[in-house]
């Protein structure tokens, strides 16, 4: 993809440090799409395609879409240099019905460039998960896996999530997503109020040799701010609503209150010193 000349040029500074450019290995912004039409997708790409790296069509939203419409939409995103994949719930359902091979083949036929392998709803044994990863790779698809449960009452421990994360990376997953759902509450590294539980973040980052392969689902602004200020502007963020893409990019560049305030005061990366007005977090469940 060619360089994107922004409206303000060098008149505006990236206050938290340089941003990576597409194609990115770090600083991924992964968007959740719950049913944009073709024209809305065109608008999305024109306005923000340069800062979108992944688009996931959430859960089962593509199950009843017309085949040609879906192919056109996928192609539009792929042409913009965006990795496109269906939500992991579709793969889980296909696996549970014994249709994994057909699912992977169809994903490829439709033009998807990746699949998400998850077990947030369906209990999938480790060997079945490994098989799903392998089948997708054999089909020439990228693999984004997801760890964690969508059910707040059945949350795996941070240690269990860390073990699965490391295992997926060893199996060759391109990225591993930390589950948070659309709500960002009561799942993954967030408590029931949506605040970050730092001990859980620490447990996931510690065992990973390459933290840049972690995608943090963070649909809420406070969560995004915390992760950016802790890990820098090129942390990978996922489950970003389509309406919030440019707002997240402004956060990354230190161009919203939460990150500009910290950057100008020289406090980015020193979360404990950020004032009470900054995004909140918790130290435990």
Name the CATH code of domain 22-282 (choices 3.90.1150.10, 3.40.50.720, 3.20.20.70, 3.40.710.10): 3.20.20.70
d(CA 117, CA 147): 9
d(CA 24, CA 284): 33
At residue 274, the pLDDT reads 35
Domain boundaries, the chain: 22-282
Contact criterion met (CB below 8 Å) for 282 and 226: no
Nearest to 93 by CA among 103, 84, 85: 103
Tokens of 92: 């889980």
At residue 273, the pLDDT reads 36
Contact criterion met (CB below 8 Å) for 52 and 31: yes
At residue 282, the pLDDT reads 45
At residue 268, the pLDDT reads 54
Contact criterion met (CB below 8 Å) for 29 and 8: no
- Helix ranges (DSSP H) in the chain: 38-48, 67-79, 88-96, 100-110, 126-138, 158-170, 198-205, 221-231, 245-252, 257-264
| Mean pLDDT score of the chain | 89
For the chain, residues with pLDDT lower than 70 are 1-4, 267-285
């Amino acid at each position: 993809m060619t360089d994107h000349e922004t409206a303000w040029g060098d008149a505006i500074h990236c206050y938290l440090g340089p941003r990576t450019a597409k194609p990115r290995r770090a600083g991924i912004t992964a968007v959740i799409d719950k049913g944009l039409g073709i024209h809305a997708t065109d608008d999305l790409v024109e306005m923000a395609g340069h800062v979108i790296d992944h688009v996931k069509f959430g859960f089962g939203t593509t199950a009843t879409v017309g085949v040609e419409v879906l192919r056109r939409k996928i192609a539009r995103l792929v042409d913009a240099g965006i990795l496109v994949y269906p939500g992991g719930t579709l793969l889980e359902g296909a696996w549970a019905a014994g249709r994994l091979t057909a699912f992977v083949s169809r994903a490829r036929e439709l033009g998807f460039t990746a699949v998400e392998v998850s077990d947030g709803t369906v209990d999938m044994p480790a060997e079945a998960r490994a098989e799903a990863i392998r089948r997708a790779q054999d089909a020439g698809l990228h693999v984004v896996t997801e760890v964690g449960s969508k059910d707040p009452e059945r949350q795996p421990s941070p240690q269990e999530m860390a073990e699965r994360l490391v295992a997926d990376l060893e199996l060759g997953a391109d990225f591993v997503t930390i589950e948070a759902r659309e709500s960002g509450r009561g799942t993954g590294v967030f408590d029931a109020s949506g605040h970050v539980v730092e001990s859980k973040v620490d447990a996931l980052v510690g065992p990973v040799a390459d933290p840049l392969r972690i995608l943090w689902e963070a649909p809420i602004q406070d969560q995004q701010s915390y992760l950016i200020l802790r890990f820098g502007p090129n942390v990978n963020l996922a489950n970003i609503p389509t309406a919030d893409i440019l707002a997240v990019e402004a956060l990354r560049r230190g161009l919203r209150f939460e990150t500009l305030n910290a950057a100008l005061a020289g406090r980015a990366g020193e979360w404990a010193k950020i004032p009470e007005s900054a995004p909140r977090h918790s130290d435990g469940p």
